[in-house]
Amino acid sequence: MAQKVAVLGAGSWGTALAFLALQGKNDVSLWARDSELLLQLDKERQNEKYLPGISLENIRICPDLEPILADSDWIVCAVPCLGIPELATQVKSLRKAGSIVVSGTKGLHSQLGLRPAEMWHKFGGLVPSEYVALSGPNLAREIVCGVPTSTVVASLDIESAKQAQKLFSSSLFRVYTNVDLTGVELGGALKNVVAIAAGVCDGLGFGDNAKAALMTRHWREMTRLAIAFGAKETTLFGLSGIGDLFATCASPHSRNHSLGVKLGSGESLSQAQREVMQVVEGIHTARAALKLASEKRVELPVTTELVELFDGKPVKAVIHSLMNREGRSEVEE
């Protein structure tokens, strides 16, 4: 039976999620804050700015939240972390009773240090059965071009995760379930930080050895932090951890990797951000991760140096600091 799906956020990822929801022959609406973007989407039936060449036929373009939230069974969120508190507050008073929020947001709020699930609970009043996170190696361009991939949907309520699994599953998009919501969200968020660091390596022209070493050690950092907040290590070995990390650290379609390449090539953070043109969640997540690490007394040397690079530390000095740290065992006791 067709369900009504409201997708909030019309960047590349939001457009891809609307495309995915449509594959199940659902009634799909797409909303964004940018009124000019919505006019362009409605007129040209494609997202020329963020995902050109992909038809948006049969997707309703909606400038107003109230009418689409009033009768939607599913609310799919694809806005940046910084926009969630305001959006969740709006959704709280407008959404249909019993509707489920599926969050495609991968990041941490830089000031609040909260995951998307925590913000939707705090500002949107959602209970566990009303929230699902979707995460994995899911680059928007490949998805809408029909390249096969997998993802994971996580919820504290397994039945809600199973419903989301049915909503998004198709012959080209395989969906797994997980109840480790913390692990899935932290994996999806923290791998963005790794992707920036990997991009810096590529921008410096360091080659495969350096990039592989950096990715491995930075993955240990993200795993260490996630476990400190109750995540399962097996989740970080899954689609939202290593799977998403591989995709974003290697792909030219990854905005986090692209920003890292520009930083490694000598551009300033502000210049690199202007050229990428979309929100790079890894910047905000890196800063939030350091705050969380301080709470749990977890050491994040690569993340620390990356934030210092954001703040103007020369890239050669960053590399020197990392390579000249005191020797230690690879195995953590």
CA distance 141 to 148: 12
CA distance 52 to 45: 10
- Taking residue 2's Cβ as centre, other Cβ atoms within 10 Å add up to 10
Q: H-helix or E-strand containing 271?
A: helix 269-276
CA distance 299 to 226: 12
CA distance 224 to 219: 8
Length, in residues, of the chain: 333
Q: Specify the DSSP class assigned to residue 145.
A: T
Which residues participate in catalysis according to the annotation?
A: 191
CA distance 161 to 129: 9
CA distance 254 to 256: 5
